[in-house]
Amino acid sequence: MQKDLESILFDEEQIQQRIQELGKQLAVEYNEKNPLFICVLKGAVLFMADLIKRVDVPLEIDFMATSSYGDASKSSGVVRILKDLDRPVEGRHVVIVEDIVDSGLTLRYLRETLLHRKAASVKIVSLFDKPEGRQVDIEPDWFGFRVPNAFIVGYGLDYAERYRNLPYVGILKAEIYQES
């Protein structure tokens, strides 16, 4: 699969090292708040699994699935909830765990939805931030790495559902998403 990548941006060790740092920061912020960490499926599944092991305070987890890219490399602009949370968030300190903030449309929708449901607080941790992709005004409260304005895959991030299982992250060759 590596032959489909133009370059590797972050290897396994760099990713794990950065997640450890983020975990420590989150543990300081959420000590004694019993936060609810919400994983935004599917892309954030690897990050969520590695992150929560590094947040050494009591917390709970839940999952939501959204889709706006489908099999494309550009957002459709419409965010759909494919799977909702199991339990109410009213009164909870919520941390949205994302793999990437690109246009920002997914996160804006999720943040508004959770605030509307009366969460006590809603903050965002994203492993990757692509500021040049932004279409709406939203920023993660914590992020792991800035990435260039290119389509990246690996470590949960897909193109047409592929490449999620790469343990590293890289830029997908343009010819791969232009051929289909």
Ligand X SMILES: O=P(O)(O)OC[C@H]1O[C@H](OP(=O)(O)OP(=O)(O)O)[C@H](O)[C@@H]1O
Sheet containing 142-146, strands listed edge to edge, beginning at the edge strand earlier in sequence: 80-83, 60-67, 36-41, 93-101, 121-129, 142-146
The three-state secondary structure class of 174 is: helix
Contact set for ligand HPA, span 68-97 (CB under 6 A): 69
Residue 102 annotated in active site: yes
Task: Kindly report the backbone phi and psi dihedral angles of residue 179, in degrees, each rounded to the nearest multiple of 5, phi listed first.
Answer: -75, -20
The three-state secondary structure class of 95 is: strand
Please state whether 17 falls in left (phi above 0), alpha (psi between -120 and 50) or beta. Answer: alpha
Task: Identify which range of 6-14, 112-120, 136-144, 145-153 contacts ligand HPA by CB under 6 A.
Answer: 145-153
Which candidate in 62, 84, 99, 102 is catalytic? 102
x-or-dash string of contact with ligand HPA, 31-70, rule CB under 6 A? --------------------------------------x-
What is the nearest approach in angstroms of ligand HPA to the Cβ of residue 122? 20
- Contacts with ligand X by CB under 6 A lie at 40, 42-43, 66-69, 75, 98-106, 158
